[in-house]
Amino acid sequence: MKRAFMAFGGSARVCLGQNLARMELLHAVARFFRACPTARIADSMKDKDATMVDFFVIKPACGAMEITLDQEQ
């Protein structure tokens, strides 16, 4: 762990709550899209941009996920 920061640690010092944290994140994203039915992934996003990359934390390959909010009609 001296060489790099790892969000949930590793080896014998791995975070016991990492699975719960990931589940909470998925739940938060699902709640966002349910609460904002006009939200969608922006047209500028490509499949390769959404590929997850392991860095210090997991992130999309392009660095950010663009979301478009359309006005309700």
Q: Are 7 and 52 in contact (CB under 8 A)?
A: no
Q: Residue 57 corresponds to which amino acid?
A: V
Q: Are 61 and 48 in contact (CB under 8 A)?
A: yes
Q: Are residues 44 and 68 in the same domain?
A: yes
Q: Are residues 2 and 31 in the same domain?
A: yes
DSSP-derived letter for residue 62 is: T
Q: Are residues 43 and 31 in the same domain?
A: no
Q: What is the pLDDT of residues 13-72, one digit of tens each?
A: 788 888 888 889 889 888 988 998 888 888 888 887 777 666 566 667 777 778 888 876
Domain that holds residue 68: 38-72
pTM above 0.75, yes or no: no
Q: Are residues 43 and 61 in the same domain?
A: yes
Q: Are residues 2 and 30 in the same domain?
A: yes
Q: Are residues 30 and 59 in the same domain?
A: no
- How many structural domains is the chain composed of? 2
Q: Are 10 and 43 in contact (CB under 8 A)?
A: no
Q: Are residues 31 and 42 in the same domain?
A: no
